[in-house]
Chains A and B, each alone.
Chain A
Amino acid sequence: MSYQLDFASLVPYLPEFAAGVWTTIELTIISTLGGLALGTFCAQGRISNEAWLRRTCACYIEAVRNTPFIVQLFFIFFGLPALGLKMTAWQAGMIAMIINLGAYSAEIIRAGIEAAPKGQWEAGKTLGLTRRQIFMHIILPPAYQRVYPALVSQSIIVMLGSAVVSQISVEELTFAANFVQSRSFLSFESYMLAAVIYLVLAILMRQAFGLLKCIAFKNPSL
């Protein structure tokens, strides 16, 4: 067993890796924003007065949380075109990630909302705020703050899960690693490099969320 590590030979392929990293970052930023927005909407839908909205959100959340991500991805990319909905691989990957994070974050955010004492709703009501105003101004901000660590973890899981969209040929980081190793036969080095980059991205993401936390939550102790 003597294998000579040869990272130097990867140098010509750095542009491929760079392009892959950029696509992964792009997918992550957009899907995090989109997924958390969708999750907030559905969390609100789950406690709506409208029965149809409550049920629709519940079905969506359960459907996504109880099926594999790769099947969701294939369904969107290969299944939906059969219904006449055509899209690029990048768009399909993006949508799959948003839908996935939307469902998981909806459940997380709902837990934060349900932890709000009943008195908070009542105080808002006696001040004459609408249900929506109470939700947006009184209930939601502390709810985010309560479940923030869980939301960060879930967003990172979705970032790492973006590796799966290489399966439909979205040219992100894992796709780049696959491509490079098939050309250079440097499997160990290619995947090692990809793994390190994912690790760095995850750490950076945690730090970005940490920064955001200081800006978003002015009162650190609720």
Chain B
Amino acid sequence: MSLVSLDEVHKYYGENHVLKGVDLRVNAGEVVSIIGRSGSGKSTLLRCLNGLEEYQQGAVIVDNQSVENDDYKLRLLSRSVGMVFQNFNLFPHMTVGENVMLATKLVLKKSVTESRQLAEELLAKVGLADKFDAYPGNLSGGQQQRVAIARSLAMSPKVLLCDEITSALDPELVGEVLKVLEQLKEEGMTLILVTHEMNFARDVGDRVVFMNQGKVWETGPSDEVFANPQTDELKSFLAAVR
């Protein structure tokens, strides 16, 4: 049984048919990169996995839970699915530590001591042990994104969704964030990444999904897909990004 499965998923924004029958399976421990042109529906696909967007047809099942538009069910689902955003979305009025502890206190009802200990561990893991009491506004983009990753991990998700999480960063800060992802992969975390970092997708990702015109156009093991793309669309896409 796959950890994540989409069956014939269709999504419309009004008249705009954005996902046109998406099928995808992701197993536990896999690292899947989603690539494709702007507007091909990558973000939409990712946001259908945790209920941030509704879909109109088909089925999405994550960690044996059907993703439906029901507040209570989505809250339960959010314990299995973490998400990291392009622009971090840290809470600016809370310190780094408070950002990481918020959900463990409010959602998992852990004690302050327990939450604090977990937050300290997670921040140490992303290399920010000394930033516990800093405010997000005083950190670099790369540091903020690592805090956002720690914040997601605090809910111990089974799968982490990342939507272009290095796109808003200065080039010299991309590496430190990708290093954290690599480390997560080694620990067996399931990752689904929308990314423009083709080298990372090839070297770290297990599998690549090429989205085109609202469909999974081509998919396969990373090395094969990059070395030997089958469709003309993927060939021209890879030629354009290289």
Contacts and interface: CB of A to CB of B under 8 A. Distances in A.
B65 to A, nearest CB: 13
Contact of B106 (A131, A137, A218): A137
A9 interface: no
Interface string B130-158: 00000101000000000000011001000
Contacts of B125: none
A212 interface: no
B4 interface: no
A128 interface: yes
B208 to A, nearest CB: 24
Contact of B78 (A127, A133, A137): A127
A68 interface: no
B89 A222 contact: no
A109 B134 CA distance: 27
Contact of B137 (A117, A130, A217, A219): A219
A178 interface: no
Interface stretch (B79-87, B114-122, B178-186, B195-203): B79-87
A218 B52 CA distance: 31
A217 B155 contact: no
A130 to B, nearest CB: 7
Contacts of A217: 93
Interface string B74-112: 111011011101010111111100000011001100000
B93 A129 contact: no
B73 to A, nearest CB: 11
Chain A interface mostly: helix
A138 interface: yes
Contacts of B103: 127-129
Q: Chain B contact residues: over half helix, strand or loop, or mixed?
A: loop
A121 to B, nearest CB: 9
Size class of A's contact patch? 20 to 34
A126 B91 CA distance: 13
A2 B128 CA distance: 75
A133 B93 contact: no
A125 B106 contact: no
B93 A142 contact: yes
Contacts of A130: 71, 75
B50 interface: yes
A165 to B, nearest CB: 37
A141 B102 CA distance: 14
Most buried by A among B50, B81, B94: B94
A122 B85 CA distance: 9
Contact of A117 (B89, B95, B102): B89
B100 to A, nearest CB: 10
A123 interface: yes
Contact of B135 (A127, A128, A129, A219): A219
A137 B92 CA distance: 11
A119 to B, nearest CB: 4
A67 interface: no
B205 to A, nearest CB: 22
Nearest to A218: B93
A142 B82 contact: no
Contacts of A145: 93
Contacts of B71: 130-131
Interface of A: 117, 119-120, 122-123, 125-131, 133, 137-138, 141-142, 145, 217-219, 221-222
Interface of B: 50-52, 71, 74-76, 78-79, 81-83, 85, 87, 89-95, 102-103, 106-107, 135, 137, 151-152, 155
Closest 7 CB pairs between A and B?
Answer: A128-B78, A123-B89, A127-B103, A119-B89, A128-B107, A126-B83, A219-B135
